[in-house]
Amino acid sequence: MIGSLLPTTTIRACPTHKEFAEFGSPTSQPPQRQIPRDDPQAQRSAIADVVAREYTIHLHKRLHGVTFKKRAPRAIKEIKAFATQAMGTNDVRLDPQLNKKVWECGIKGVPFRLRVRISRRRNDEEDAKEKLYSYVQAVNVKNPKGLPTVVVEE
């Protein structure tokens, strides 16, 4: 009696291959071409490239889930990655005082936020791969939370 009340058609949760073909898969679209543009780095002068800015790096979110014994080394790598992204240079050098500030409370006790000054400088070495490098220094502030990014005149 109950069996006769159930519908005879089955409901499919996932579509079949033919149904996917109707909708089109994400890979079926032709690749989009990038518009060629003039290289903006070629147009800038070397004087405009030299700049210093103060940033607040939120290390706590970058180190979330990292093993305790790897936190300080990972923090150094994250600072370098931040400087690379912010200044657009692959050559990043850290001040020894910044290293001491990160390691101040041991390998596990990395500060939640760090205020840093990142300076993009000219590379004076003759056989250097990069024309510019970034130099990262720690800035002493009482509370780095909520401070905006500031361009610093050197």
pTM score, whole prediction = 0.70
Cβ proximity of 32 and 115 under 8 Å: no
Spans of all domains in the chain:
49-152
pLDDT of residue 146: 95
pLDDT value at 53 more than 80? yes
Mean pLDDT over all residues of the chain?
84
pLDDT value, residue 4: 61
Which amino acid appears at position 43 of this protein?
Q
The answer to whether residues 46 and 122 touch, using CB atoms and an 8 Å cutoff, is yes
- Of the candidates 119, 132, 52, the residue with the CA atom closest to the CA atom of residue 91: 132
Q: What is the pLDDT of residue 49?
A: 84
* pLDDT tens, residue by residue, 57-76: 999 999 999 999 999 999 99
Asked if pLDDT for residue 77 goes beyond 90, the answer is yes
Does 42 have pLDDT greater than 60?
Answer: no
Architecture of domain 49-152: Roll (3.10)
